[in-house]
Amino acid sequence: MIDKVVVGDLDTNCWIIRAPGTNEAALIDPGAEPDRILQAVDGLDIRAIVLTHAHYDHVLAIPILTHQLKAPVLAHPAEKEVWQHELAHLEEHGHFDAGTATEDLLAVGRPPRATGQLWDGTVDRPLQDADTIAIGELEITVKHTPGHSPGSICLAIEGHLFTGDTLFPGGPGLTGAQWPLTSFEAIMRSIRGLLADTPDETQIHPGHGRDTTVGAERPHLREWATRGW
Ligand SMILES: [Zn+2]
Ligand SMILES: [Zn+2]
C-alpha cells in the first residue's frame, strides 16, 4: 500500500500511497526523475499530487506528471513564497539552494538544476491544517507543521506519518538564520504538536533517507530543543 521512489540530487523520497482494494493512489513529493515515477505508478489512478513543501527537490517532476497523469496539485498556500524564493535563487546563482548539500554538489560538478520545464507554481487545491484528502476509502489527514518552511505539512494515515523535511530519524529538518523562511522554534513546536497525539508504533516516512517510528524519536525532543537544531 505504501511505496517509494528515491529521486534526484538529494535522494528525495517520492511516496505512493494506494487505497486498499483499489488502484486509486496519492503521490507525495515528485522531486525529480518523472520517468521513473511514471513507471512506478503505471496502472494506478493518481488522484492527488501532494507536496509536503515546495523546496526544489520536492517539486521538479510536477510539470511532466500533471501533464501525464491529469492529477491535481495540493499544497499549503504559504509554500507559494517558498517556490518563488527557490526560483529567485536559481535566477541569481544559476542553481537551486540545496541547503547544506549545495557545496558538495557544486564540488562534484553537479549544480542542483532542473532539466526541462519548471513548475509554474499552480496549486489546484490549497490545503489547511486538519483538511482531509480522500483516496478511495482512504482518508489522508493534513497537519500544518511550519518551521522547515512556512507551509510545510505532514500527512497522516492510520499507523503512518509522512513528514517531508519536518522530522527525520535523529531530529528536525533544516532550519537556521542562514536558511530563508525557516524557524527552529516553529519546527520544534510543530514536531511537539505532531507527536503529542500519535501512538509510539506509528511509522515515520521522511522526505529523505530511512524510516523511523514515533516511539524512537519522541524521547529526544528535549535534547533537540537544547542543542538548537
Ligand atoms: Zn526542504
Ligand atoms: Zn528535501
- E strand or H helix that includes residue 151: none
Mean pLDDT, 10 residues at a time, over the chain (229 residues)? 96 97 97 98 98 98 97 98 97 93 92 90 98 97 98 98 98 95 98 95 98 98 96
Ligand 1 centroid – CA 28 distance (Å) = 13
CATH superfamily membership of 2-227: Ribonuclease Z/Hydroxyacylglutathione hydrolase-like (3.60.15.10)
Where does 9-146 show beta strands of DSSP type E? 12-18, 24-28, 45-50, 73-75, 125-126, 132-135, 138-144
> What is the maximum alpha-carbon separation in the chain?
48
Ligand nearest to the CA of 13: 2
Describe the chain by its helix, strand, coil percentages, rounded to 5: 30, 25, 45
Ligand 2 centroid – CA 21 distance (Å) = 31
Structure-block grid coordinates of residue 183: 524557524
Ligand 2 centroid – CA 205 distance (Å) = 13
Q: Where are the domains of the chain?
A: 2-227
- What pLDDT is recorded for position 185? 98
Half-sphere exposure of 207 toward its Cβ, with a 13 Å CA cutoff? 32
- What pLDDT is recorded for position 116? 85
Can you tell me whether residue 63 is helix, strand or coil?
helix
Ligand 2 centroid – CA 206 distance (Å) = 9
* Residues with Cβ–ion distance below 5 A, ligand 2: 57, 165, 207
Ligand 1 centroid – CA 53 distance (Å) = 7
Ligand 1 centroid – CA 90 distance (Å) = 15
Half-sphere exposure of 211 toward its Cβ, with a 13 Å CA cutoff? 14
Ligand 2 centroid – CA 164 distance (Å) = 7
Ligand 2 centroid – CA 91 distance (Å) = 20
Ligand nearest to the CA of 58: 2
Query: In 10 A of CB 159, how many CB atoms?
Result: 11
- What pLDDT is recorded for position 197? 83
Q: How far is CA 9 from CA 12, 89, 99, 200, in A?
A: 8, 17, 12, 32
